[in-house]
Structure 1
């Protein structure tokens, strides 16, 4: 799992938070990710939706794609499809994915980089494995996060952010045993590169066996930890959390987690996502690729899509199978 690596001893360190002097957040629930097929038939593990949306607010969906070792000709993607009313954040850990959209954004997303697409008023895009991965096969592992937009921003102009691996803000735990990559938001005054409409913090942390990671966390943010691989415990109560499981935290001012002293053979470290944000607290109407506030707005989105008002596939990317989308 290369993503972004660094010598933790040379990085800025998070502050030491004494166990007895901090209002630690407790764990309110743990859920196991369910498996689904997406796009052309690739498998994802999805921990939410699966918890109440109020627990995940302002997030809507989290999909772990892989880790999988594709053979030649096996790699699959998600052909052209529409979105409206939210943002998709695709973080590639291993391998590569090619993104193209109807406003001219896109590019090759590779190890440790992030593609941030604000669908807003509407956009068409696709996410496909590059020709080299299709031809030769290889390791593929990524995560897609859907971030909701408040009512006032649902119809904002679409935009695209290309966040290179080198752009992520790198930090270390107080003892140097954990590497923290800040993809978006802020952690202890250290800002990540992602520009967000909705206040969030999105981290990828690698903890060595036995290492502890503690961090201050905004009181008005939700908080969750999802395990990509390995095992550990979360919360002051040391709730076990293994690969493919998501922990939801209650209220408090700080988060604590610790990698198990021994890790499974396929994961020398505990790889986790730490994420949360300021709840939007608005009604959510969702159907397929659209997330709005009311059922009528969903119907309007379908009408606009069918009328071509969400954009068109650029001619250079169009194939015969895409004609029905234009």
Structure 2
């Protein structure tokens, strides 16, 4: 079985009144190439007449964001003209590429009525050849994302991208990124194989799992060596896992604020371009 290198506990990093934990980057883990950043917002309950999510207009360049809406909703708008409200169970995939401005806030309905909220956002790097690709965005509701059922119905896997157990993911991606949200009922078992050439992204959102014999608690990110293909997962409790894998790009990564490039010169240029309005304009 693949060796666990280290288990990383997410750092607590609240944003205004939004409960936020981040397992990457931290002092103990910078990235799992090409997965570079994860924020886990919630779970929490918002009262009626709340301010919702605080992510007003801001730019990005050189990377992709994948947003998992486990509870609540997100109203997305960007300078490329894309708009959507994605509800519980849905996923957004935004390729920032050469650059755009976007906002991720709560719908007016959620701000008026309140409710449960739990959202995760994962940043995925783009290789140099795609850093300046044309930006794009796609948001899908839960019903539009394929689901694989395993272990007599005790495991359900929402296939986001790539492939999982023979089922193709909902999103077509520029690079070969495999992402799945897996929900386990207590006592269920799952065996997986991932090529030793690929890095694994393994974040326990809720519950408790045993992976290759070691305990993996909620808000833990598991870092693996690349010494074997096999994973064995057992659910100690009802649990949710975000599982991904991809070949590392093995390129220099320079991240500053909302930009992820290959050099400091490219970062400086991104800020210059943003100030000059080259990443688009914003109208309320």
Q: Please confirm whether the aligned pair reaches a TM-score higher than 0.5, indicating the same fold.
A: yes
Q: Per-residue CA shift, 1:51-71, capped at 9, x if unaligned?
A: 5445x1101111111111011
Structure 1 residue 163 corresponds to structure 2 residue 132: no
Q: Per-residue CA shift, 1:77-136, capped at 9, x if unaligned?
A: 200000000011111111111000000113001111111111100000000011111122
Aligned match of 1:63: 39
Task: Give, in angstroms, the shift of residue 175 of structure 1.
Answer: 4.7
Aligned match of 1:172: 149
Q: Distance in 2 between matches of 1:78 and 1:163?
A: 20
Aligned match of 1:43: 19
Between structures 1 and 2, the one with greater strand share: 2
Q: Per-residue CA shift, 1:13-44, capped at 9, x if unaligned?
A: xxxxxxxxxxx212111000012134x55231
Q: Distance in 2 between matches of 1:310 and 1:166?
A: 32
Give the secondary structure class of the aligned counterpart of 2:2.
coil
**Equivalent of residue 242 in structure 1, options 200, 212, 217:** 217
Q: Per-residue CA shift, 1:126-171, capped at 9, x if unaligned?
A: 0001111112211011111101000010000001112221222211
Aligned match of 1:73: 49
Aligned match of 2:192: 215
Instruction: Give the alignment's TM-score, normalised by structure 2.
Output: 0.94
**Equivalent of residue 312 in structure 1, options 255, 274, 281:** 281
Structure 1 residue 141 corresponds to structure 2 residue 110: no
What is the root-mean-square deviation in Å for CA atoms of aligned residues? 1.5
Aligned match of 1:34: 11
Aligned match of 2:167: 190
Q: Distance in 1 between matches of 2:225 and 2:180?
A: 18
Task: Give, in angstroms, the shift of residue 295 of structure 1.
Answer: 0.4
Q: Per-residue CA shift, 1:242-300, capped at 9, x if unaligned?
A: 1111111222212211111xx3xxxxx11111112110100001100000000010000
Q: Does the Cα contact within 8 Å between 2:8 and 2:29 map onto a contact in 1? A: no
Q: Distance in 2 between matches of 1:301 and 1:275?
A: 29
Give the secondary structure class of the aligned counterpart of 1:76.
coil
Give the secondary structure class of the aligned counterpart of 1:104.
coil
Give the secondary structure class of the aligned counterpart of 1:305.
helix
Gaps of 5+ in 2: none
Q: Distance in 2 between matches of 1:243 and 1:113?
A: 21
Equivalent residue pairs, number: 281
Evaluate the alpha carbon distance shift between residue 37 and residue 96 of structure 1 in structure 2; reply closer, same or farther with a 3 A threshold: same
Q: Does the Cα contact within 8 Å between 1:173 and 1:214 map onto a contact in 2? A: no
Q: Distance in 1 between matches of 2:150 and 2:156?
A: 7
Q: Distance in 1 between matches of 2:173 and 2:196?
A: 19
Q: Does the Cα contact within 8 Å between 1:36 and 1:46 map onto a contact in 2? A: yes
Greater gyration radius: 1
Gaps of 5+ in 1: 1-23, 264-268, 318-326
Structure 1 residue 275 corresponds to structure 2 residue 244: yes
Q: Distance in 2 between matches of 1:41 and 1:71?
A: 12
